[in-house]
């Protein structure tokens, strides 16, 4: 297989002589959270430098091409962008000047295969509810109550968000009041909450059939993250026209409007601390770049680990706090190319979720202990070339498919110190064996594709580490357990003056969660000036 690097490179290549300071803020990492913060600050007249160590900007929203095909590495579908009044749509329009466009998936946006049973998730609350009730007669009350619970979580979230940007002494009182006001179920696991509504485990499996979108089976995940994701897609799924790379491509000009820029190949070695405050960053080439605000989109493990010098104030405090969270799941992704069109191949605009059965926790634990003896517990199949109406004109006569499945870092850790693209025959053989298993899952559902695949390539957690600096391949940052939502230190403003966090770790995983993280970081950093932006985005 070819391992030539992509030509889809977005952003300006870093050179010390290309810096155009002084900058008013530096953002470490160009994931969607970092780009959102930079674009929002630029809209407020701030000159921002975004520093990305990868060869292209966008984090998990970037795309790559190889052998005449293009794939997205992390964006498979987005919810809540079909109407202008939603927060996700308002925020996307704001940070791209309205230039990012969307194409809807099929009304049946997700199709679940749970053992021998097939369940379609339909766009729109009524269609969603009707389809579930048709599949589970006698469970009408449970389904109605479930949808009400989703709405209740949505009402709680503004308070959780506000608590992250209030001054600490006010936030403590506010959060206590908010906690008393919130329904008790928001502090429980998804499984615990749903078992108060129904004893039908197949219905629970159907309601939680998108658990791969947060990386935790329902017996471990917080009901908060489950509810946010389920409600996010309640009106269907959408795909960026032109592919995921259109996000960074349209956000960067907004960052440049106030003189800022986004640099790639810009490897930040460490945050510079002076007189107890963050004042700049040291680059891998030795260059020092200074700014009054340093904003990390590198995740809390990187920020309070290798990026923060040992003499930094509160480093011990944050090292202790890191023991209260854990890294999220790691995965593999199989990128597939076919020399034919999505239309000819009848590829759907529907995502497929394939499970051996309804007991997700059991299947996951068995597989992780003995992967060769048990079925893959979760297989997600996406068809980007079918979802993107521009794909056929950009890549004529080509079609793409992506398959995501669990892939623990430990499976590949013996090769972690080998260079990317040169990890040896044993590594390639291990990847090939899993690739063939995943291809069989595809053929089970779309047997007419057998024999038509032109190219495929498996990425592992080592790729996630190499390209995105998540050292154990944790695609969702932190696990979204109930205790994660009790961590009051996961907020934009740190205890170190001048240092801020942004992105998915301070809010939730996913593009929308990381974007909202970017928004509240801007509000937190901007003080009273940020209130107008908050009102504009949250109220409209």
**CATH superfamily, with its number, for domain 12-98+242-325+487-538:** FAD/NAD(P)-binding domain (3.50.50.60)
User: How does pLDDT run along the chain (540 residues), one tens digit per residue?
Assistant: 333 344 467 889 999 999 999 999 999 999 999 999 999 999 999 999 999 999 999 999 989 899 999 999 989 999 999 999 999 999 999 999 999 999 999 999 999 999 999 999 999 999 999 999 999 999 999 999 999 999 999 999 988 888 898 877 777 777 777 777 788 899 999 999 999 999 999 999 999 999 999 999 999 999 999 999 999 999 999 999 999 999 999 999 999 999 999 999 999 999 999 999 999 999 999 999 999 999 999 999 999 999 999 999 999 999 999 999 999 999 999 999 999 999 999 999 999 999 999 999 999 999 999 999 999 999 999 999 999 999 999 999 999 999 999 999 999 999 998 888 889 899 999 999 999 999 999 999 999 999 999 999 999 999 888 788 888 889 899 999 999 999 999 999 999 999 999 999 999 999 999 999 999 999 999 988 888 888 888 876
Domain with CATH 3.50.50.60 in the chain: 12-98+242-325+487-538
Which residues make Cβ contacts (< 8 Å) with residue 116, sequence separation at least 6? none
CA distance 225 to 211: 10
**Would you state the pLDDT for residue 532?**
86
Long-range contacts of 360-366 (CB under 8 A, 24+ apart): 360/205, 360/208, 360/211, 360/217, 360/218, 360/219, 361/191, 361/217, 361/218, 361/219, 361/220, 364/217, 364/406
271 contacts 305 by C-beta, under 8 angstroms: no
Cα–Cα distance for residue pair 481/190, rounded to 1 Å:
9
> Helix, strand or coil for residue 8?
coil
504 touches 492 (CB < 8 A): no
Contact 377, 361 (CB under 8 A): no
Question: HEC string of 236-291?
Answer: CEEEECCCCHHHHHHHHHHHHCCCCEEEECCCEEEEEEECCEEEEEEECCCCEEEC
Closest CA to 526 of 292, 255, 290, 261: 292
Q: Are the beta carbons of 160 and 485 closer than 8 angstroms?
A: yes
Q: What is the pTM for the complete model shown?
A: 0.95
Q: Are 435 and 334 in contact (CB under 8 A)?
A: yes
- pLDDT of 527 reads 86
pLDDT score of 8: 64
Contact predicate 168/239, CB 8 Å: no
* C-alpha separations of 420 from 3, 89, 266 in Å: 9, 37, 18
Q: Give ∠ CA 487-28-292 in degrees, rounded to 5.
A: 90
CA angle 444, 448, 449 (to 5 degrees): 80
Q: How far apart are CA 383 and CA 385, in angstroms?
A: 6
Q: Is 385 helix (H, G, I), strand (E, B) or coil?
A: helix
């Amino acid at each position: 297989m070819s391992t030539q690097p992509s030509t889809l490179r977005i952003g300006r290549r870093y050179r010390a002589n290309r810096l155009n300071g002084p900058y008013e803020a530096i953002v470490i990492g160009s994931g969607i959270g970092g780009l959102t913060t930079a674009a929002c600050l630029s809209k407020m007249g701030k000159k921002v430098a975004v520093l990305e160590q990868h060869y292209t900007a966008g984090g998990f929203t970037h795309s790559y091409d190889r052998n005449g095909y293009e794939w997205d590495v992390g964006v498979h579908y987005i919810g809540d962008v079909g109407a202008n009044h939603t927060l996700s749509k308002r925020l996307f329009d704001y940070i791209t000047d309205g230039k990012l466009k969307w194409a809807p998936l099929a009304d049946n946006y997700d199709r679940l295969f749970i053992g021998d049973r097939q369940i379609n998730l339909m766009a729109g609350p009524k269609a969603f509810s009707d389809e579930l009730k048709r599949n589970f007669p006698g469970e009408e009350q449970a389904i109605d109550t479930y949808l009400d619970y989703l709405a209740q979580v949505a009402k709680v979230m503004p308070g959780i968000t506000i608590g992250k940007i209030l001054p600490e002494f006010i936030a403590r009182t506010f959060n206590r009041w908010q906690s008393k006001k919130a329904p008790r179920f928001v502090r429980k696991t998804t499984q615990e909450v749903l078992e108060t509504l129904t004893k039908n485990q197949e219905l629970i499996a159907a309601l939680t059939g998108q658990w791969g979108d947060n990386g935790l089976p329902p017996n471990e995940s917080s009901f908060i993250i489950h509810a946010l994701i389920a409600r996010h897609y309640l009106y269907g799924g959408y795909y960026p026209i032109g592919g995921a790379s259109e996000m960074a491509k349209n956000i960067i000009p907004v960052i440049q409007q106030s003189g800022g820029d986004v640099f790639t190949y810009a490897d930040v070695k460490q945050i510079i601390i002076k007189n107890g405050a963050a004042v700049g960053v040291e680059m891998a080439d030795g260059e020092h770049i200074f700014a009054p605000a340093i904003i990390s989109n590198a995740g809390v493990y990187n920020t309070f680990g290798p990026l923060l010098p040992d003499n930094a104030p509160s480093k011990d405090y944050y090292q202790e706090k890191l023991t209260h969270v854990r890294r999220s799941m790691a995965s593999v992704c199989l990128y597939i190319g076919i020399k034919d069109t999505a239309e000819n191949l009848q590829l759907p605009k529907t995502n497929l979720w394939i499970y051996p059965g309804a007991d997700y926790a059991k299947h996951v634990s068995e597989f992780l202990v003995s992967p060769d003896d048990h079925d893959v517990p979760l297989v997600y199949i996406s068809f980007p070339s079918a979802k993107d109406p521009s794909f056929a004109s950009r890549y004529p006569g080509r079609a793409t498919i992506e398959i995501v499945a669990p892939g623990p870092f430990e499976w590949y850790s013996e090769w972690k110190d080998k260079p990317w693209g040169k990890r040896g025959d044993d590594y390639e053989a291990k990847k090939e064996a899993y690739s063939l298993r995943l291809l069989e899952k595809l053929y089970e559902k779309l047997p007419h594709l057998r024999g038509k695949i032109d190219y495929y390539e498996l990425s592992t957690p080592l790729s996630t580490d190499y390209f995105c600096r998540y050292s154990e391949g944790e695609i969702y940052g932190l696990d979204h357990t109930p205790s994660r939502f009790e961590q009051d230190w996961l907020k934009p403003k740190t205890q170190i003056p001048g240092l801020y966090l942004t992105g998915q770790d301070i809010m939730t995983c996913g593009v929308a969660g990381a974007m909202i993280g970017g928004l509240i970081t801007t509000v937190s950093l901007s003080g009273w000036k940020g209130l107008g932006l908050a009102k504009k985005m949250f109220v409209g």
